[in-house]
Structure 1
Amino acid sequence: MGEPTDDTQMGLRLLGGIMDAYKRVFVTGGAASLLSRPKPVRRTGFELDMRIESVARETDDVVGLTLRATRGGPLPRWRPGSHVDVFLPSGRQRQYSLCGDPSDRFRYRIAVRLIPDGGGGSREVHETLRTGGGLRIRGPRNAFTFIDAPSYLFLAGGIGITPILPMVRAAGSRGQLVYVGRSRDTMPFLHELPGADVRPDDEFGVPDIAELIARAEPGAAVYVCGPPPMLAAAQRHMFELNPTGSLHTERFSALPVVDGRAFDISLARTGGTVHVAADETALTALRRRLPDIAYSCQQGFCGTCKVGVAAGSVDHRDRLLIESERADHMLACVSRAVGEELVLDL
């Protein structure tokens, strides 16, 4: 081969500059990767029949379940932040974070807080599941990815400790945990967290999230899981306090409706019309008319509430449906009508 021409050398230099920029932004954690984005979650996982090995009362309103494969043998591997879909005896489907030890290939552990005015899933767990009983699960799946970072700050609120607990163990000396809650007797797994900064409200007052985030070292990965006001405060203050860090959040409640407009849903099979207010989800409105409609995550990633769309245009706000499904399906927990009416296959 001959000597490269000036044009060739210029092209190579340009290509090298593009690759360097790519590495700075997407590989080493530059500005474009600072805030954890919604990630598609694997749609199907392993379906497993499990046996409840033990039921432990962690607090007055939290039970921990340890599960083993019904037929024995090792379980699928998982990373901190993973969850499983649990199919309850009633047919309800719910997601619960794995909060045990990822190195234990023979047991999964989940914990469930009782929500008296919820959709009935937590009550069913508390009132009907017993040691020795069977349970079907799917997973593990992960929408709360634990990344490699030079240091970590973990903020957990109440039952939000469940996905964070394995992360704290994995981070070791690189991590610091601040655990908040109403009172110590409402905060599960305290006995497993001897090094945590435990700050119950009845001892320290309502936490100042900005003050807590300020503890993170420059470039730290900050993980937050707790009630919606805690997550909102973290998102509001993170990058003014730690512009080189990254923020990762997970919530256990429905997403608030943003920029919603009222619309009507016509039910093609059962008949009738359901009105959806501007500040509520289609799922919330549908449950008034169809209380047994299937749902689970209420955040647009599990697909349990997928319904057929017979007519109308959809404002898709989910993280699951592929493009070919969007013309005639929607996830009722997050998506809405573009216009004034949708006709659903319900």
Structure 2
Amino acid sequence: MDAADGLPPETRLHILRCVCGAATSLPSQTLRVLATVSTGWYGLSLSAAILPFARHLHCRLLTPNHNGKRFGEVWPPDEPLQVYRTQASQTLGDQDMLIRCLQMCLHRRFQPAMDLYSQLEEATNLESWMRQLRDFRARQFPPTSGPGEAPPPVWCAAAVVLPDGRLCVVGGGCYSYELANAQSSLVEVLWHQPHVYIFDTASQQWSHQVTTGAQPPVAHAYASAHTLLGTRWVFWCGGYYCQAYNTAFSLDIETWEWRAMRNSSEHQPSPRYFAASFEHLGALYAWGGRSLKDKYFNDLWRLDRSRAHQDVVHTDEMITSGSCPPARFASTLTNCDDRFAILFGGGQWKTGGRFLTDSKVTGSHSQTADT
């Protein structure tokens, strides 16, 4: 490589095209080697002739940025979130929420909370103590606001780009805690978000989209496999550790009508959530996921919408070959020009709060990626 540094740039670009340009997999490993050997060669490898997209990546924040989130232990969830309880419980009062907020901030070693804790020791009565806590929460975690009818801050929502360029989001949710009994035992509840919101990238305004038809059941649009197939946004599987699905629903993006899709195989695949998914040749593929009983999958399934006009879909398991990735959930699976798919990340959740990650990248379909 040192001897080749004296070559003209055109010659070096030709060499890089041979190394990277005709590659059938992402040449990131090759680029890393070039970066460690010569910054000049690495700079040439990022040219438009080698990686046309590399110099056009730009991130820009379109919505207001806030320090905190108005849900969970910090702020009581509010409309339009809807609570889903698996056992009897009573909501936390304002005093309980404030104490819970302080405890979680201290547990996460949030410095303003640690400073407040030392000041609270000087409070002369409960009223003064609570007033300082209210001021702290309002200052550090202000109520969420945004342009237009912005959706609430949630996890695991589904998003798709509409044909006119607008962004559409639906589903998601967040966890919170409530009192289960007079002894102040806490139980976890899920607040799910069932509504549809549209973000206009030109005006940078949110709007709430009214829908008709039978909405999916609780948390079906939470951590689901989904894609836009024609004019129908299809949701498959989904849920969380207290409720999982193997059924499918569709949302027509022209009429905004929800429809339940009848599955040709009622019991397959097994109900699961956080399956990795992608679209390929008009079908939705889902890999992996997690079931209610802490079981993880590494199988690949296809949902065919050939009879979607009759609200019928067909699901079948795809037989794969090669080195099968280990079972896990919360991975991403990306279609790369209908030639191969990239599976990245995910892991398995272990009791006690440990998440065993898997940062290996595996290719499916026809090729294996380098990264």
Q: TM-score, normalised by structure 2?
A: 0.29
Report the structure number with the largest CA radius of gyration: 2
Larger % of helix: which?
1
Q: Which has the higher contact order (CA 8 A, sep 6+)?
A: 1
Q: TM-score, normalised by structure 1?
A: 0.31
